[in-house]
A and B are shown apart, each in its own frame.
Chain A
Amino acid sequence: MNPILRAVFEPGFFTSAPVRVALLAGGMAALVSSVVGIFAVMRGQSYAGHALADISVTGGSASYLVGITPLWGFAGVSVVAAAAMDLIGVQRRRGRDLATGIVRGAALGLAALFLYWGTTTTSTTGATITVLFGSIFTISGSSTAAAALLGAIALGIVAGLYRPLLLGSASPELAFARGIPVRATGSLCLIAIALAVSLSALTIGAILSTALLVGPAAAGLRLTSKPGLAILWSAVIGLAATWLGVLLAYDSYYWPPAHQGWPVSFFVVALVLVFYLLAQFGRPAGTRRDKAVARQAEAGA
């Protein structure tokens, strides 16, 4: 084997069981988040996604107190929160942002309480670290299976509603006129977003999960004018960031300062940023109109 490749992948990257779990579960979470993320960003729901991720911390931290898998805590609370956000259904943007902000603050307060109880009763900080920063190398087999199921539901929603969601994102009025139930499709999309951030909360942590929801999607939207291709780009970037992140975390075991490895979440989020910046400044053809519009804006300013 090539000495450089050996240095990167040795010893035993591909034979390590935790690495295989990380590649599998991390890959699923990245795929679901980056695909659903396109719809979240197009529909202007990235703030809602961010709020759902924060609210899911409550579920993750409570799951440690009652002794269930954190994934069910993340998913249960964020799906309920998504439904509640939709039921409140504040139509004006400012009212919606206020309602979301208040619920989010209360949820984070509860999460702080649960994490405090968890930490003081078990006298470790394990739960806090796992909930906030993920546990990609130590996900159980049953959690991986559950993640696959929830991920399939989320992808099924956005695949099934692909055209209604696309038209509704372009213009709710046009969608209405076509006979699309705009409210119901929007609610299902929010559920898909809740599931996506729950999966990413499991792998890279609840506070970083929106990076995978928004980052690859934002880069994908930059790279092409075709909606299907934007989804593909987003998925490729999300998967690349996650798998490269796992590899770098694996290799960082030999890095300073502590020789204990750097957290995967850091690498994944950093790589997402790098890909976004590459997409932003190395934009290919197909978006020529953007430049024309930018020129017009400059001339008008």
Chain B
Amino acid sequence: MADRDVVRIAEPGLAADREETLAVAGVGVRLGGREVLHDVRFSIRAGEFVGLIGSNGAGKTTLLRVILGLQKPATGQVRIGGAARAGRGTAVGYVPQKIELDPDMPLRARDLVGLGLDGNRFGIPMPSRGRRERVTEMLHAVGAAAFADARVGTLSGGEQQRVMIAHALISEPRLLLLDEPLANLDIRSEQEIVSLLARISKERGIAVLISAHEINPLLPVMDRVVYMADGRAASGTTGEVVRPEVLTRLYGHHVDVIHLHGRVLVVPGQDDEPTIGSRDDTHVLHADPAAPALDKAEGRR
């Protein structure tokens, strides 16, 4: 049953022999009687870089929590590496939203990366050369070697993100999830983190799913996009999804898409303005045509 769902949403044109690293199949979540996610479905293959785009309250964090196994879906299922999600562990690397690290805590960048390797183990860690070298190598890979011995709480936002990414990657996960890693970063750090993630994704063949409320920083490197509004999602290439007719149906509200020097602006329009494009996009859009209005999505977590 679930397998059929996965097959149905597999887009043509992608190598059929490469198995999906992540398959989200018809996931729905209800929290406090409210439908937070509705029939979300998409898949990611190894080495793919996918942006999860939506405003606050669109359901991005809830979706990431479902993939992580922190939230049970009411309907549908999540499959990682072809197997049903069996809880937390090292198959998925995770960089949470807005981590506030205490600058008074005696924890160096290299300590936090080491905890990514064996933080769930019991007992006192015995210092070993192999472990130390692996940590150092990982710090180099994310460009964090220069501040490896500084307290992680005293680092800048961009530096902390690099350390978090190293922490998430050192256990060699097949899937890397990042929740709003670009929030509160300056433009330069933002670009650096995006290109770092894109490089790691290609070099190591890791599937990357990164949530953001702003699509433009990810446009140059994104293989595909999962666009969310009000708990519903449309997935495909940016060319397929970021179109006025698709987003208008997703939001349930007239939306215009303006292209400007390789960037896109998604702006709300008036419902009585002329509608653009066809409504025949069911292969990329899995939203209910009678979706609630955009303004209800605001203020929701």
User: Given the complex, which residues of B lie within 8 Å of A110, measured CB to CB?
Assistant: none
Residue of A nearest to B99 (CB): A171
Partner of B151, one of A42, A161, A178, A287: A287
Q: Using known A-B contacts A179-B89, A221-B106, A225-B108, determine if residue A171 contacts B101 with beta carbons closer than 8 Å.
A: yes
Is the C-beta of A21 less than 8 angstroms from some C-beta in chain B?
no
**Interface pair B106/A290, CB less than 8 Å apart:** no
User: Given the complex, which residues of B lie within 8 Å of A170, measured CB to CB?
Assistant: 101-102, 105, 107, 112, 115, 152
Is the C-beta of A166 less than 8 angstroms from some C-beta in chain B?
yes
Is the C-beta of B57 less than 8 angstroms from some C-beta in chain A?
no
Residue of B nearest to A293 (CB): B154
User: Given the complex, which residues of B lie within 8 Å of A255, measured CB to CB?
Assistant: none
Is the C-beta of A92 less than 8 angstroms from some C-beta in chain B?
no
Contact with B along A206-231 (1 / 0, CB 8 A): 00000000000000110011111110
**Interface pair B105/A169, CB less than 8 Å apart:** yes
**Interface pair B125/A162, CB less than 8 Å apart:** yes
Is the C-beta of B104 less than 8 angstroms from some C-beta in chain A?
yes
**Interface pair A163/B155, CB less than 8 Å apart:** no
Residue of B nearest to A288 (CB): B150
Residue of B nearest to A168 (CB): B119
Q: How large is the interface on B (under 10, 10 to 19, 20 to 34, 35 or more residues)?
A: 35 or more
B window 148-176: CB within 8 A of A: 149-152, 154-155, 164, 167-168
CA–CA, A177 to B167, complex, Å?
11
Residues of A within 8 A of B (CB-CB), count: 36
Contact with B along A76-115 (1 / 0, CB 8 A): 0000000000000000000000000000000000000000
**Interface pair B154/A166, CB less than 8 Å apart:** no
Main secondary structure of the interface of A (DSSP, over half): helix
Contact with A along B103-126 (1 / 0, CB 8 A): 111111001100110111111110
Partner of B124, one of A162, A167, A169: A162
**Interface pair B106/A227, CB less than 8 Å apart:** yes
CA–CA, A160 to B96, complex, Å?
26
Is the C-beta of B234 less than 8 angstroms from some C-beta in chain A?
no
User: Given the complex, which residues of B lie within 8 Å of A228, measured CB to CB?
Assistant: 124
**Interface pair A163/B125, CB less than 8 Å apart:** yes
Residue of A nearest to B109 (CB): A225
How far, in Å, is A191 (CB) from chain B's closest CB? 16
CA–CA, A8 to B103, complex, Å?
42
User: Given the complex, which residues of B lie within 8 Å of A230, measured CB to CB?
Assistant: 106
Contact with A along B81-103 (1 / 0, CB 8 A): 00000011110101010010111
**Interface pair B99/A173, CB less than 8 Å apart:** yes
CA–CA, A174 to B104, complex, Å?
18
A window 266-301: CB within 8 A of B: 286-290, 292-293
Is the C-beta of B70 less than 8 angstroms from some C-beta in chain A?
yes
Q: Using known A-B contacts A170-B112, A174-B167, A177-B88, determine if residue A163 contacts B103 with beta carbons closer than 8 Å.
A: no
B interface residues with partner A (beta carbon < 8 Å): 68, 70, 87-90, 92, 94, 96, 99, 101-108, 111-112, 115-116, 118-125, 147, 149-152, 154-155, 164, 167-168
